[in-house]
Amino acid sequence: MGAARRVLVLVSVVSLGACSGSGTGTVDADDPSGPPVVTAPEPTEDSLPAGFLGDIVHPSTGPCALTQDPETGRTWVSYANTRQIDEVDPATGATITTLNLAGTRPCAVQYVDGALWVGIFRDAVLQRIDPDTGEVTAEIGLPGGVSGMFHAFDHLWVLDRAGPVVMKIDPATATQVGSLRVEGSPRGMAASDEGIWLVREIPGVVSRIDHESLTIVEEVHVDPGIRGLAIGEGALWVTRARFGTVYRVDLDDRSVGEPIPVGSDPRGIAFGHGALWVGDVTGLIARVDPATGQVTGQYPFAVGTGGGLAIDDQLWVFEPDRIVRIDPAELP
């Protein structure tokens, strides 16, 4: 498989997939004070997205989540509308093998130490699965189902909708070793060297959780309505849904910057290819320069996707019926 490829997930993003017949589009310069907006022409039968490298097509629909082995680069995609997880070649997008699972809606997946951890949403369980055979080797019940999951500090961190509760799970023993009940509509989660960061939408705060004591040790007040979270370039980056903005929270002094306009309803957010990428539910993807906080491009793509991500030198875009692979260097 070659060298490992770094993955950054862009959660709940509308697609990077609007079609451009030439693959370049045109720039709308009516507002010279704003960022360049690429206007896609009407799609034709053979039209392709700008920077199109290929796509990953599944017999069903609903590509939902992706994970990767950081050592080997092995990559898996889960599908919300089936009981399947595909292993795909990250260089070509070709399907290598398919795992047929017993549960439905495997909408969260994380590779840890030789195993796939899969949140089976409708069955409200977390399963540990052998990636070579598809055998379930452990199972943990979750009353509300997984709404977020990642690996940090040698543990799995799972946000269970019921409660809601942040769960700390030891992947070696497949046991829950701690939990923290949180209020205020918890949303995005991420980890820095300081601990676990959790967005709480209704009070509009980002809470820092000590990863050992599993207690909230700090809160940074931003604004009510915040949802998505990414960490990079010495800052927390937080989307504010329905207000069309992103906030930069400095990790040195905890200062909150002025809101950055990025769209009408930004949800997905991630770092990749030297930029912050923010997805808007209307179909816009904004590219933000993390050094200046300026939006350097906005790209209109198809509405109705489940998310996108940056992988190696590509952007992968989750459309309702496929994943589109794009060269970000080709985006104007």
* Distances from the Cα of 299 to the Cα of 94, 149, 295, 303, angstroms: 26, 28, 11, 12
Residues 306-327, mean pLDDT to the nearest whole number: 78
Taking only the tens place, the pLDDT of each residue in 145-190 is: 888 899 999 999 999 888 789 999 999 999 999 999 999 999 989 9
Domain regions of the chain by residue span: 7-330
Taking only the tens place, the pLDDT of each residue in 253-288 is: 999 999 999 988 887 788 888 889 888 888 777 889
For position 126, what pLDDT does the model report?
92
Separation between Cα atoms, residue 128 and residue 264, nearest integer Å: 38
Q: Are 326 and 16 a contacting pair, CB within 8 Å?
A: yes
Q: What CATH number was assigned to the domain covering residues 7-330?
A: 2.130.10.10
Separation between Cα atoms, residue 285 and residue 236, nearest integer Å: 19
95 CB-contact burial (10 Å; exposed 0-12 / middle 13-18 / buried 19+): middle
% of the chain exceeding 90 in pLDDT: 48
For position 310, what pLDDT does the model report?
78
> Confidence band (pLDDT; 50, 70, 90) for 27?
very low
* Distances from the Cα of 157 to the Cα of 10, 13, 143, 149, angstroms: 18, 22, 16, 6
User: pTM for the complete prediction?
Assistant: 0.83
CA dihedral 90, 94, 97, 102 (to 10 degrees): 80
Taking only the tens place, the pLDDT of each residue in 296-308 is: 988 776 665 555 6
